[in-house]
Amino acid sequence: MTAPPRLELRHVSRRFGGVNVVDDVSLTIAPGQVTCLLGPSGCGKSTTLRIVAGVDRQDSGEVRVDGLLLSDDTRHVPPEERGIGLMFQDFALFPHLSVAENVAFGLRGTRARNAARVAELLERVNLPDFGSKYPHQLSGGEQQRVALARALAPRPRIMLMDEPFSGLDERLRDEIRDATLDLLKEAGTAVLLVTHEPDEAMRMADEIALMRHGRIVQQGAPYNIYNNPVDRAAAGFFSDINVIRGRVRGALTATPFGDFLTPGVPDGSEVDIIIRPQHLRIDFDRAGRGPNPTPQDGQAARASVLRARYMGRESLVEFRMDHDGSQLRATVPGVFLPRAGTALWLMIRRDRCFVFPVDRAAAE
Ligand SMILES: Nc1ncnc2c1ncn2[C@@H]1O[C@H](COP(=O)(O)OP(=O)(O)O)[C@@H](O)[C@H]1O
Ligand SMILES: [Mg+2]
């Protein structure tokens, strides 16, 4: 028999004012696994977290920990008995308690054991000599690390984190994210992390649950979600995208980049062929002849540079396509700054395209 998941949500729904803010959400998280609930503001992430914490209650569905029922229609274990750690953006430390007292706050042990645990954690978050300081004497990043130590001190089986790093400036954020991840992995804690930032989810998550209008629309490893999105919106949530619209004729869609195989889409209907800017190939004009077609990249199409910008790690080049005046964006690693008006040829890597039937409702 395999062990039950550390955290399990089964068909959890929550309504506010007639709207399903959380709509039939099911999710499992194993010990030591980090799952990110990722989605735009207002999609129901925090509500889901609050239900798991027990500070809100679902209208239907179950929450289980290690297979044991925490909450359903009839049963509701109160938050303080759930053994769940919490970390939020506005994580207020207790201002009148020292750092050590803050970290010890949730501990039940003897004084000596608590002191040892506090020292161990302050060591781990790189604040070994901070025990007797007070919160107002700390920087934002230091306060965040104390909050993390406080949340981890009672060895919670599950950690819920709601946009916990969004108050920090960017460089500090990367450092604290990595330190946090190390600590949580080491402790074997199951983590449910809420964020609206795809970069944060990609960086932190073993698994991403992409949420929209209260529903989980796609779930999987970051690699799979990024490279195999379920629809146009899921593709566009992670990066800028180029969309080439076409109409299907006999399982093929003609584009300036040659014919695309678009099987399974009814004849005469429209499809969106989607490509991320880093997967456009740029080639030279060769006196207007362009490159030869290849099996992988298909046919090239001519375009002129609208503008090019250097972004640090990469250059962003915007093109106007000769054939119809539509615009596409490409990113190129390093420095590539062709002048406006330069003629170049574009190809799109077939293996990096996503093809979706045009969904008028979702496009609104
Ligand atoms: N207690 C509440 N009463 C009424 N509406 C709520 C309540 N809590 C959240 N909502 C609504 O539910 C939706 C989802 O909120 P929330 O879970 O906070 O989204 P997210 O964390 O993804 O930004 C929002 O439209 C919000 O206004
Ligand atoms: Mg929220």
Q: Residue 92: pLDDT band by 50, 70, 90 thresholds?
A: confident
Ligand 1 site, CB within 6 A: 16, 21, 39, 41-47
| Ligand positioned closest to the Cα atom of 16 | 1
Domains of the chain listed by start with CATH number: 7-236 (3.40.50.300), 240-363 (2.40.50.140)
Percent of the chain with pLDDT over 90: 76
Using DSSP, state whether 275 is helix, strand or coil. strand
Q: Residue 221: pLDDT band by 50, 70, 90 thresholds?
A: very high
To the question of pTM greater than 0.75 for the whole model, the response is yes
Whether the per-residue pLDDT at 169 is higher than 70: the answer is yes
**Model confidence over 278-294: pLDDT tens digits?**
999 999 999 989 999 88
Whether the per-residue pLDDT at 28 is higher than 90: the answer is yes
Atom of ligand 1 nearest to the CA of 56: 1
The alpha helices in the chain, defined as continuous H runs, are 45-53, 99-104, 111-124, 140-152, 170-187, 198-204, 222-227, 232-238, 360-363
Nearest C-alpha to atom 20 of ligand 1 is from which residue?
42
Q: Residue 164: pLDDT band by 50, 70, 90 thresholds?
A: confident
**Per-residue model confidence (pLDDT) at position 126:** 87
Angle at CA of residue 42, ends 38 and 48, nearest 5°: 60
How far is Cα of residue 204 from the mean position of the Cα atoms in its chain? 8
For residue 120, the tally of other CB atoms under 10 A from its CB is 13
Whether the per-residue pLDDT at 363 is higher than 60: the answer is no
**Per-residue model confidence (pLDDT) at position 362:** 55
Using DSSP, state whether 335 is helix, strand or coil. coil
At residue 7, what is the residue type?
A: L
* Packing angle of the helix pair 140-152, 170-187 (nearest 10 deg): 10
Burial of 4 (0-12, 13-18, 19+ CB in 10 A): middle
In angstroms, the CA 300 to CA 321 distance is: 11
Distance 168 CA to ligand 2 centre (A): 17
| Ligand positioned closest to the Cα atom of 47 | 1
Average pLDDT over residues 219-225: 97
Average pLDDT over residues 297-311: 95
Q: Residue 130: pLDDT band by 50, 70, 90 thresholds?
A: very high
Choosing from 15, 16, 211 the residue with most ligand 1 atoms within 8 A of its CB, the one to mutate for a pocket test is 16
- What phi and psi values does residue 97 have, to the nearest 5 degrees? -105, 145
Q: Residue 52: pLDDT band by 50, 70, 90 thresholds?
A: very high
Mean pLDDT lowest among 184-188, 323-327, 356-360: 356-360
Whether the per-residue pLDDT at 199 is higher than 80: the answer is yes
Whether the per-residue pLDDT at 196 is higher than 70: the answer is yes
**Per-residue model confidence (pLDDT) at position 360:** 67
Using DSSP, state whether 40 is helix, strand or coil. coil
Atom of ligand 1 nearest to the CA of 44: 17
Q: Residue 165: pLDDT band by 50, 70, 90 thresholds?
A: confident
